Structures are given as C-alpha cells and as structure tokens.
A and B are shown apart, each in its own frame.
Chain A
C-alpha cells in the first residue's frame, strides 16, 4: 500500500540529504515509519486515516531538519550571532551560487557587447563593476535567507501545512535530482 503523506514527507527529506546515501536513507526511513504506522494499525484494528498518518509524520519533525541530521558537515553562516543555520545552508549555497553565476554571465555579456561596439573600457572599471554587483547579490541573498532562517526557527512546526513538493514525482526522482545537481 502506498501512503501519500509518507511519500511526500520522504521527498522533502530527500531534498536535503547527502546525494550518495540519499536512496538508502530514504529506504530505511520509509521502512521505519511504515513499521510504526502498521503497529498503530494493529493496535487500532483498522487502517490509519490520512490525518492520523500526518500525525505520525508530524511527530518525526520537520523533514529538512531531519535531513540535516544526516549531513556530516554542519555548515552555517554566522556574523556574531547565527544568521543561517545548517538546515537552510544547502539551499542558501545553491541559490547563492546560481545568483552569482548568473550575475557574472550578465555582466560579462554587457561588457562583451560594449567592447565589441568599440567602447573604450578600462580593466579597473570592469573589475569594480563586477565586484560591486556580486557583492550586492551576495548581500541580498544572505539577507533574505537570514530573514527566512529567523522565521523558520520560530515556526518549526509549520512545514506540515506548507506541503512543499506536492508533485507526483517519486522519491527516487528527488534523489536522482540531488545526484545531477552534484555533477553539474
């Protein structure tokens, strides 16, 4: 029997797992949670409703926090006090590298076009523009994640209603996505 809330929960866990062990960890977690649900069903003498399944999952805690327990590297960002914790850090790193990469490409293209159209460009002006833009991007992304982190640590239980990953793609797809991300 497939349990929809369970699969959704596992998919959320998978997004934060180390890619090499992703499938294996998910398989073990599924087995564990299913055993607990079956124990409850045996005791009740009937199948668990979706709401009751959600209760079991809720007792397991936030899937992103759970995934963070499996990561050996507890990377975080701190400036005096903690700004971005280890739970959000992988997402922060992903967004930041994407943004910085995009910014670099855009600036590069602009200067290339300017250069080709015969504009005179000094190396120092290119350098300072790049640096400034990248710094701005860095500051914005970090600031937003700091806000999210502060909010998330205050509302640890809210994830259950958020229902991230409502799509029908399977958990193994979520794990493969992690592996692909790693390669690129």
Chain B
C-alpha cells in the first residue's frame, strides 16, 4: 500500500497529464465566442477548467501560430486588449477533435 503523500502526488501528476490534452479542446471551444485572455481564463475557471496564465498565454500563441486562432488588439473600456477567436481552420480542427474525444469516451466506457 502506498503512503498517503506519495499516492496524492502520483494521482496529481496523472490527473494533470490527463487534463493537459483536454485543455486545447477547452480553449478552442471557448473561443467560438471572441474573448480576450482575462475573460477567457474566467470562463474556463467557471466551467471547472482552471488554467494558469503561464500555460494559457503561451498556448494561445502556439495555437495562433498554427493558424487555429486569430487575434487582434482592440480597445475596450479604454484599455487595449488582445482578442482571440477561432479561425476557420480552428473550427474544422475543433470539430474533428471533438469527434475524437467522443470516441475515446465511448471506448473507455466500454472498458471500465
């Protein structure tokens, strides 16, 4: 039997690993509606997909460089904010990924 602390740490690592893959899915899905970083973070948090800024912003940049997101600086409430939204390519990829996600869930349900 594992020690409590050890067990917790192991679970925590595996949990993070499991969630990491879903983060891209969550970010893409949330950006069907245009948002800037801070509100996006709040939205994800409210939906139980909290993500720290140190991960979110680099991820947004990566997805943008891959052409899945489009962004622009715009003024809102007298401050300049960078707004992100899903691009046409992003929409197509998201649809495919969601299909994949469904099939993984189905397979798992069959196994457990």
Contacts of B82 in A (CB 8 A): 27-28, 31
Q: Is the pair A21, B80 in contact by a Cβ cutoff of 8 Å?
A: no
Closest residue on chain B to residue A21 by CB atoms: B61
Nearest Cβ on chain B to A86's Cβ, whole angstroms: 13
Q: Is B58 an interface residue (CB 8 A)?
A: yes
Quick one: which of A27, A60, A65 contacts B53, CB cutoff 8 A? A60
Contacts of B54 in A (CB 8 A): 60-61, 65-66, 69
Q: Is the pair A31, B53 in contact by a Cβ cutoff of 8 Å?
A: no
Chain B 24-68, CB-CB to A under 8 Å as 1, else 0, gives 000000000000111001000000000011110110011000000
Contacts of B81 in A (CB 8 A): 31
Interface centre among B54, B58, B80, B82 (most CB of A within 10 A): B54
Contacts of A72 in B (CB 8 A): 62
Nearest Cβ on chain A to B41's Cβ, whole angstroms: 8
Distance, CA A124 to CA B73, complexed state (A):
60
Interface centre among A35, A36, A72 (most CB of B within 10 A): A35
Q: Is the interface of A mostly helix, strand, loop or mixed?
A: helix
Q: Is B7 an interface residue (CB 8 A)?
A: no
Contact flag A32-B55 (CB < 8 Å), given A21-B61, A27-B80, A70-B61: no
Q: Is A77 an interface residue (CB 8 A)?
A: no
Closest residue on chain A to residue B36 by CB atoms: A31
Distance, CA A65 to CA B73, complexed state (A):
26
Chain A 31-74, CB-CB to B under 8 Å as 1, else 0, gives 11011100000000000000000000000110001100110100
Contacts of B37 in A (CB 8 A): 28, 31-32
Contacts of B36 in A (CB 8 A): 31
Nearest Cβ on chain A to B30's Cβ, whole angstroms: 16
Q: Is the pair B38, A70 in contact by a Cβ cutoff of 8 Å?
A: no
Q: Which of A55-104 contact B (CB under 8 A)?
A: 60-61, 65-66, 69-70, 72
Distance, CA A105 to CA B41, complexed state (A):
51
Interface centre among A27, A29, A31, A34 (most CB of B within 10 A): A31
Contacts of B79 in A (CB 8 A): 31, 34
Contacts of B62 in A (CB 8 A): 72
Interface centre among A32, A60, A61, A72 (most CB of B within 10 A): A32
Q: Is A107 an interface residue (CB 8 A)?
A: no
Distance, CA A59 to CA B52, complexed state (A):
10
Closest residue on chain B to residue A65 by CB atoms: B54
Q: Is A6 an interface residue (CB 8 A)?
A: no
Contacts of B80 in A (CB 8 A): 27, 31
Nearest Cβ on chain B to A28's Cβ, whole angstroms: 5
Contacts of A27 in B (CB 8 A): 73, 80, 82
- Seed contacts A28-B37, A31-B80; 16 additional CB < 8 Å A-B pairs: A21-B61, A25-B61, A27-B73, A27-B80, A27-B82, A29-B57, A31-B37, A32-B38, A32-B41, A36-B38, A60-B54, A61-B52, A61-B54, A69-B55, A70-B57, A70-B58
